[in-house]
Amino acid sequence: MADILGEGAPAPDSANAETAPDRRRPGRLPDVSPGLLPLLRNPVAVEIPAEKAPDAGYTRDELDAAKGIAVGIFLAVPLWCLIALAIWWTVG
């Protein structure tokens, strides 16, 4: 190490010291935009502007996800039946 510094000078103590272990949580992103830090640290503190706030009478429908799955099934089943029928006609 002293040869790297040149002139045979002894290495400073900080160069000999071991690096501190990484105390960040596993899976943490190495680079995060500074603009996102307040949002990531305290999402409740972010205020929604008045023009983008939902109406006073707005209520969230708890079955939105189930409705989307049901629509997907109703569209997918006939499509796959047509595909199976087309394969059956061409092969059989």
pTM: 0.36
Q: What integer pLDDT is reported at residue 43 of this predicted model?
A: 64
Q: What integer pLDDT is reported at residue 77 of this predicted model?
A: 97
- Coil/strand/helix, residue 75: helix
Which residue, among 51, 71, 49, has the nearest Cα to 79 in the 3D structure?
Answer: 71
- Per-residue model confidence as pLDDT tens for the chain (92 residues): 545 555 656 655 655 556 666 677 777 777 777 777 777 777 676 676 777 767 777 777 889 899 999 999 999 999 999 999 999 999 97
Identify residue 70 by its one-letter amino acid code: A
Q: What integer pLDDT is reported at residue 92 of this predicted model?
A: 77
Q: How far is CA 72 from CA 62, 63, 75, 77, 83, in A?
A: 17, 14, 5, 9, 16
Q: What integer pLDDT is reported at residue 66 of this predicted model?
A: 94
